[in-house]
Structure 1
Amino acid sequence: MDIWHLVLLSLSFATALGLLLRPATKKRGLPPGPPAVPIIGNLFWLRRSFQDVETILRELHGQYGPIVTLHIGSRPFIVISDRTLAHRALVEHGATFSDRGPKLPATSFLIRDHIISGAAYGPLWRLLRRNLISEILHSSRVKLYAHGRAWVLQVLTNHLRSQAASNDAGAVTAVESFRFAMFCLLVLMCFGEKLDEKAIKDIEIAQKSPLLYGRKLYVLAFAPRISRYIFRDRLKTALQMRQRQAELFVPLIRARKEFKKQQQRQKSEEERFVYSYVDSLLDIELSEEGGRKLTEPEMVALCSEFLNAGTDTTSTALQWIMANLVKHQEIQAKLMEEIDGAVGSEGEEIKEEDLQKMPYLKAVIMEGLRRHPPGHFVLMHTVTEDVILDGYLIPKGAAINFMVAEIGRDGKVWEEPMEFKPERFLAGGTGEGVDITGSREIKMMPFGVGRRICPGLVLAMLHLEYFVANLVREFEWKPVDGEEVDLSEKPEFTVVMKNPLRACILPRRKI
């Protein structure tokens, strides 16, 4: 009933303004859209959940065209489903479309201004992003984590073997093993040491809880000055979740800080894991703010962002790809043939340098990202000045987003777009040479496009190639008897399998 309390209260304010339905755009030249009511916005939000937003948008794009205006509360929210318009906005007018939306006053405690994904387009964003790319994601740094990847691969295969051995059918539900493995690797890269399984699981719970609870904060978009009082208990719960993160992260940050001091005094490397993300954060100075260092709450927020960005997206993509390899045994067999040809049948682990010899593996990964992008939208953009796009006014401050999944499944670009066909990315296919960054043109954009493109693109591709290749090398993945792989989708933090992948795994080699 919470939403109805908010609606009734909003209606009383709207009545004072006339409560007159108006077409969403003609007065101001906005793109077309359904009728809206002052303050409340589009009325279908009263009977449709935010969980249904993608279905709603498909219907609206079918009715109004490739660029549509919605209203959430009193703010215009513009959504683009056309790849050409997306390129025009994000690449040709990149600077204008690169800001982030206004923060809700009630959620200011989330410190979104001092994380890369939430910072306004400006000096702070450039500093934080440059630090991440040069200090952690640069190819020279990524190579330093090779033994970390090997360790996590062992953790993952052990989890899968243990799960398969616990039932007669040898079946595994792989997603939790995938997620835990990716999380182990990101924790290692973030804090610079191999924590025990309990400590990692505690951090994992503290990370996931706010993500899932965040859906309960959507109502703050409607009349935020009112809703923050009506839903103050939800805000209190969210704040407690953030506090739990701080309790776990701050001791690790302080330990790393002390470790760096010891290194400086001793001027020697100790036997500990290589350079970590926290190490880089400790060195940052905010020149726009008098050269001050980052505070502990700001570092907690950045560490949380780092873990979220590299865990759920990669583990989700990994599950979708493996699900298709289970469903399409002929694709798995072809991939295994390439693996044997590239590294032979005796090696223990497929290493980073081996991946360069596997074009079909890359095609499988690309097709997985095209057909099943983990995020069906990018993080919200905001325009910094009035701009005309496709003949419509996009006003300064308007929120704008892009339908990533729809763009990657455009039948004008991709033949049989809903089919899983890695061959389309090989020589002669429609996907040959596709620029995944979208700088030349956009055919798919699983990592976003333009100045706000995901900085972890190269690392994510490496992790997907490495783990898919080694999982196929280690096990034959087969359907469970009597079950079919269900590719239905469900939105969570990412878009996941509605029914998680269950498969029988058969070891290919004797241990």
Structure 2
Amino acid sequence: MEDWLYYSLSIAICLAVSLLLSSLRPATPPLPPGPPLLWLIGPLLFLCRPTNFGIESIIRAARRRYGQIFTLYLLPSRPTIIITDHAVAHRVLVQRGAAFADRPPANLASRIFSSDQHNITSGAYGPLWSLFRRNITGKVFHPSCLRRNAGARRRAVARLVAGVDQKMRRDGAVAVKELLDQAVLHVAVSMCFGEGLATDDAVVAAVEALQREFLESVLGFQVFGVCPAVTKLVFRRRWKRVLSLRRRQEELFVPLIRARTGAVVADHESYADSLLGLQIPEDGGRMLKEGEVVSLCTEFLVAGTDSTAAVAEWIMANLVDQPEIQARLRAEIQQQVADGACVQEDHLPRMPYLRAVVLEGLRRHPPGHFLLPHTATTTDTKGSGDATLEGFRVPRHASVNVTVAGMALDEAVWPDARRFRPERFLPGGGGADVDLTGAKEIKMMPFGAGRRICPGMGLALLHLEWFVASLVAEFEWLPVASEPVVFAERQELSVVMRRPLRASVVRCSKNVAC
């Protein structure tokens, strides 16, 4: 009896002490919850289905079960923390933007195309990234610099309008995406390599062909994020295509970059000029290598064209599908533009409904369904430690991402969310029934947020507004007989229309050439 009492009291005392010590010891916050066995099948999404849509179905199911923030193991060694709530996204990307400003390690193919993450979209947070960001913001996208390319934009709009007219006369219908790609690329080549190349149709055509091949192939390169030593052997042809594309990028861009060496001017006429003048804070202040300049120019051309053309096509598809919106937009344009005149850049700020149409296009059809992935910075994690988010632990190596497309369809924030309704962005338009705490600005900036807001967003809005306004001012857009507009999606680098838009057009302007 005494032995039993002794052992019972001893065990009770030990348990009490243990509980007391554990209460005094700082507890380690847990990871956000998530499906525990996904790490077994997550890599198969990259190997068998190189698209975001397979991942999105998992995310929808996980949100229903785990709430607004959860963990997925899409790669066995690296958890991915998914945010599906506007307020949480705002806190992470804006209020704590510096704490989650870093990027995760890139996969093997991405490292090749980015010169080992020596670019803006994948570069690690630090002096080199800051240098690239300041350079493109101050010497390319600043309003005073954008004025240098006004002539290229006017020519692009004129070619776009003329191309629509020619295709309608020749084919009886217009597939507008190809013309939009060419128009945006015309401006981007001028900004990247100088005004002279914008009129060189052979160079623009070569850049367009190479970029199209890259965009159609890049999702398939995700396989090299899983066991690259093995996947390089299993997907040998795909790996050879990676190396071939990179080699041809250098063969095409290096001569264009070298041609700028003797043309560098004090105010940096082109993006390539600004890069040739940069001194890298690493390696004793060296200049950029040619391969690094190629990577930065490739990034500029891809980011500046593909997503803009994709969103413009989605907008035009909605205008074809909803002629009453098209008619209201045309009426606004006609109030600002004299009969027989062309839409000009200085007309655009006086067209609030046009801006609403463009913003609704970005909300309803964001070119990326997710932001670029983030990770916690070393300053926030105190070296090798972990960061915290909404009471959860965020390991230093974890990716943090935001479901842009999913939040844009949140009925609690956007009433009648699946409907294309530009009025929600006008005063009194009933855009949201809850306090967004900055969520609108996040959704309207699909390339990043907080510290990493895309510096080219202003230029993208300018292109979208000018191209859409010009197309609507010059033509009435109608559905092709027995070809209804289909809003199904296909994942390339951007989310594009699975069946590209084809429309009939009727000229409604007296212009023959803008």
Q: Same fold (TM over 0.5)?
A: yes
Q: Which residue is 2:358 aligned to?
A: 365
Distance 1:146 1:450, change over 3 A: same
Distance 1:139 1:47, change over 3 A: closer
- Mean CA deviation greater in 195-204 or 438-447: 438-447
Which string of whole-angstrom CA distances, capped at 9 and with x for unpartnered residues, describes residues 276-327 of structure 1?
A: 1111111111133322111111111110000001101100010011111111
1:375 is aligned to 2:376: no
Q: Which residue is 1:55 aligned to?
A: 57
Determine the C-alpha separation between the residues in 1 that align with 2:128 and 2:29: 33
Q: Secondary structure at the match of 1:381?
A: coil
Distance 1:196 1:410, change over 3 A: same
- Mean CA deviation greater in 191-200 or 141-150: 191-200
Q: Secondary structure at the match of 1:166?
A: helix
TM-score, length of structure 2 as denominator length? 0.86
Q: Which residue is 2:303 aligned to?
A: 309
1:57-72 to 2 correspondences below 5 Å: 57-71=59-73, 72=75
Deviation of 1:225 (Å): 4.2
Which string of whole-angstrom CA distances, capped at 9 and with x for unpartnered residues, describes residues 113-149 of structure 1?
A: 2111111111111111111011110011112211111
Q: Which residue is 1:98 aligned to?
A: 101
Q: Match of 1:31, as an amino acid? A: P
Q: Secondary structure at the match of 1:503?
A: strand
Q: Which residue is 1:429 aligned to?
A: 429
The percentage of aligned residue pairs carrying the same residue is 45
Which string of whole-angstrom CA distances, capped at 9 and with x for unpartnered residues, describes residues 130-181 of structure 1?
A: 11011110011112211111101111122211211113xx311111111111
Q: Which residue is 2:32 aligned to?
A: 31
Q: Which residue is 1:248 aligned to?
A: 252
Which string of whole-angstrom CA distances, capped at 9 and with x for unpartnered residues, describes residues 219-256 of structure 1?
A: 22223344344445433321111110111111111111
Deviation of 1:388 (Å): 2.1
Q: Is the 8 A contact 1:437 1:449 kept in 2?
A: no
Give the aligned length. Answer: 471
1:277 is aligned to 2:271: yes
Q: Which residue is 2:415 aligned to?
A: 415
Instruction: Note the aligned Cα RMSD (angstroms).
Output: 2.6
Deviation of 1:214 (Å): 2.3
Deviation of 1:442 (Å): 4.8
Q: Which residue is 2:175 aligned to?
A: 173
1:113 is aligned to 2:117: yes
Determine the C-alpha separation between the residues in 1 that align with 2:459 and 2:110: 31
Q: Which residue is 1:7 aligned to?
A: none
Unaligned residue ranges in structure 1 (runs of 5+): 1-26
Determine the C-alpha separation between the residues in 2 that align with 1:128 and 1:298: 11
Distance 1:339 1:440, change over 3 A: closer
Larger radius of gyration: 2
Deviation of 1:446 (Å): 2.7
Which of the residues 144, 152, 158 maps onto 1:154?
158
Q: Is the 8 A contact 1:67 1:81 kept in 2?
A: yes
1:61-460 to 2 correspondences below 5 Å: 61-71=63-73, 72-104=75-107, 108-110=111-113, 111-167=115-171, 170-192=172-194, 193=196, 194-260=198-264, 275-347=269-341, 349-384=342-377, 385=381, 386-431=386-431, 438=438, 442=442, 444-460=444-460
Deviation of 1:218 (Å): 1.7
Q: Secondary structure at the match of 2:140?
A: helix
Q: Is the 8 A contact 1:437 1:445 kept in 2?
A: no
Determine the C-alpha separation between the residues in 2 that align with 1:328 and 1:81: 30
Identify which of structures 1 and 2 has the higher relative contact order when contacts are C-alpha pairs closer than 8 Å and 6+ apart.
2
Determine the C-alpha separation between the residues in 1 that align with 2:312 and 2:43: 38
Q: Is the 8 A contact 2:50 2:220 kept in 1?
A: no
Q: Match of 1:63, as an amino acid? A: R
Distance 1:482 1:247, change over 3 A: same
Which string of whole-angstrom CA distances, capped at 9 and with x for unpartnered residues, describes residues 309-366 of structure 1?
A: 110110001001111111110111111111111122221x212211111111111111
Distance 1:440 1:54, change over 3 A: closer
Determine the C-alpha separation between the residues in 2 that align with 1:108 and 1:412: 40
- Mean CA deviation greater in 83-92 or 52-61: 52-61
Q: Match of 2:481, as an amino acid? A: D
Unaligned residue ranges in structure 2 (runs of 5+): 1-27
Q: Secondary structure at the match of 1:401?
A: strand
Determine the C-alpha separation between the residues in 2 that align with 1:248 and 1:226: 31
Q: Secondary structure at the match of 2:215?
A: helix
Q: Secondary structure at the match of 1:242?
A: helix
Distance 1:112 1:329, change over 3 A: farther
Which string of whole-angstrom CA distances, capped at 9 and with x for unpartnered residues, describes residues 27-47 of structure 1?
A: 972112223377x56487499
Q: Is the 8 A contact 1:310 1:460 kept in 2?
A: yes
Distance 1:292 1:456, change over 3 A: same
